[in-house]
Structure 1
């Protein structure tokens, strides 16, 4: 049995020039020369310039001009000026369409180049995180609010340091290239300092000093740092960032918050005390989800924020990457219209208990 597939939007637009010229020709033959349908043949090259290249626009323009001459001779319009006027109309629209097609092709080439550069910048700035580090399985998801750029002001990184696995998730104030530049500064300092600084607070101080030199005015970066060592705890350092979500092995959900919130990175020059580290239990079977406010502030058609805690059950999939993808897909379905803010999520799953339950001969 043959199934007729519906035409896509681009396929319909590609056929529109031919359909327009056919309809005009039929109407001109039926109605006769007195109605004056002939100049409407120029709709063919006009529509062609919207979706086709300049070669296709020129081809349809030549066909339209030939059709105009044929219909003009059939109607006897070349005895006066009407035939020449119709030909001039088609030729003029074809010329304008050619110019428009050339400009559009150049802009599309520039956009493709920008996307290529953005993808290269993303690979350099937001490098792939390690899939596993010891008993930890790690997954990451990043959705930029600027689809053409593929990258924005949210940042993340995972570093296996001599002092444990160190993680950062942050959100740069603002958007565009300035936010990307600031994110690059934060990640560059974090990648170096994570290996050098034995203390998590000293690591945060180093980030603060670097940003204080780089940022101007009241710009800042909210961030949360996590350090997972050999014990059954995770140390957190919060610079004005949303509290991470901890999903226990039994399914209970917790959002551990510091005793007092500190200012974001870049605002430490105001003389306030920096954040104090706090520890949270993190045992085999637990999951730690760090995210930016683009996740929790996404709204549905009723202006309701995304209920992250109620979606914790989506993280129950055996594979961490599939679990995080389920949350990302659910977030996308919850949001209405284009996303207004970047959304980054980084999931750390403690698989120590699972690894212990599996025997050495278990192929899984």
Structure 2
């Protein structure tokens, strides 16, 4: 810019464009860098004004004042941006710590089971939300939980913590899966107020099959070894956890066969409620065929997640959790 002004002369007046230097520096640079670019712009502006003998002209004085003012504003903007970036980094660090405490890494294998997990938070500045999951290995078999807390934010995270804590304790103590569900209901009754609730599925896998206990949650999909895909709808509709008083009876455990090569996908409603730009829901029943071919369950689940994000065409609007189990000798 200075060279252009030097060769074209004062008639075209390119010097005011020197204010672009500190302006752009404030976008990505530090406060010191912005100040240095501003000083450099002033250092270029003054000699050029002297060269053209316009140092005392109204335009030159206005240019100097503008460069000085833009540099000061840019330094303030850079300071606020850097402080915001630090705050965001701290928020993400706290969220990651909370996630490691609440949503611990699940085991990738348990006996003849292979386990895959996918979790995507809808919150841009944090990596944890209202969806929850857990896998524990007990003497009687592997017990699992997947759930979705009503609402969002810190209240949802707090409720998820209560559910996970109660499940981790009850999964080892209760001989029957229904007893685990009762413990969760009792725990939530003490801590939830109003009309808050948690949809959830409890599952227990042993050597001959899998037992499901559905509390108002989307039905899981069973992918058989021959590629057949079947939703496992509950025999009796049951309300979510926290709303047991609205039900005439407790949910009944549902037993299904689970043979070598079979898979079961448990997921939250963020999957089936994901929409594309035309407002069409994600066709999970059709796209679950992606799970049938891969030898590694995690690779298959990652491909399904990628397909979901392609369908949405952007960030998800609700938390998405998927848990895939494959029986593999």
Matching of residue 230 in structure 1 with residue 207 in structure 2 = yes
Matching of residue 265 in structure 1 with residue 245 in structure 2 = no
Gaps of 5+ in 2: none
Aligned residue in 1 for 2:95: 118
Does the 8 A contact of 2:18 with 2:67 survive in 1?
A: yes
Aligned residue in 1 for 2:250: 274
Per-residue displacement from partner, 1:299-355 (whole Å, max 9, x unpaired)?
Answer: 22332221212222211211111111111111111113321011100011011xxx3
Does the 8 A contact of 1:144 with 1:342 survive in 2?
A: yes
SS of the aligned residue for 2:288 comes to helix
With over 3 angstroms needed to count, the CA separation of the structure-2 counterparts of 1:267 and 1:72, relative to structure 1, is same
| Aligned-partner Cα distance in 2 for 1:105–1:125 | 30
Aligned residue in 1 for 2:33: 56
Aligned residue in 2 for 1:360: none
Does the 8 A contact of 1:212 with 1:269 survive in 2?
A: no
Tell me how large the CA RMSD over aligned residues is. 1.5
Matching of residue 339 in structure 1 with residue 316 in structure 2 = yes
Per-residue displacement from partner, 1:231-276 (whole Å, max 9, x unpaired)?
Answer: 2x21110000000000001110111111221111111233542211
| Aligned-partner Cα distance in 2 for 1:27–1:217 | 70
Aligned residue in 2 for 1:188: 165
Quote how far apart the aligned CAs of 1:223 are: 0.4
Q: Choose from 148, 151, 160 the match for 2:125.
A: 148
Aligned residue in 1 for 2:138: 161
Matching of residue 104 in structure 1 with residue 88 in structure 2 = no
| Aligned-partner Cα distance in 2 for 1:212–1:113 | 33
With over 3 angstroms needed to count, the CA separation of the structure-2 counterparts of 1:102 and 1:30, relative to structure 1, is same
Matching of residue 87 in structure 1 with residue 61 in structure 2 = no
Does the 8 A contact of 1:212 with 1:268 survive in 2?
A: no
Q: Moved runs in structure 1, 4+ residues, more than 6 A?
A: none
Aligned residue in 2 for 1:137: 114
Per-residue displacement from partner, 1:199-219 (whole Å, max 9, x unpaired)?
Answer: 111110110111111112111
Matching of residue 308 in structure 1 with residue 284 in structure 2 = yes
Matching of residue 78 in structure 1 with residue 46 in structure 2 = no
Does the 8 A contact of 2:309 with 2:315 survive in 1?
A: no
Aligned residue in 2 for 1:298: 274
Quote how far apart the aligned CAs of 1:34 are: 4.5
Q: Choose from 315, 318, 325 the match for 1:348.
A: 325
| Aligned-partner Cα distance in 2 for 1:236–1:221 | 16
Per-residue displacement from partner, 1:133-173 (whole Å, max 9, x unpaired)?
Answer: 11111111001111320111111000111222111110111
* Higher relative contact order (CA closer than 8 Å, sequence separation 6+): 2
Aligned residue in 1 for 2:265: 289
Aligned residues: 328
| Aligned-partner Cα distance in 1 for 2:296–2:61 | 71
SS of the aligned residue for 1:113 comes to helix
| Aligned-partner Cα distance in 1 for 2:60–2:266 | 71
| Aligned-partner Cα distance in 2 for 1:62–1:97 | 12
| Aligned-partner Cα distance in 1 for 2:120–2:279 | 20
SS of the aligned residue for 1:208 comes to helix
Does the 8 A contact of 2:239 with 2:246 survive in 1?
A: no
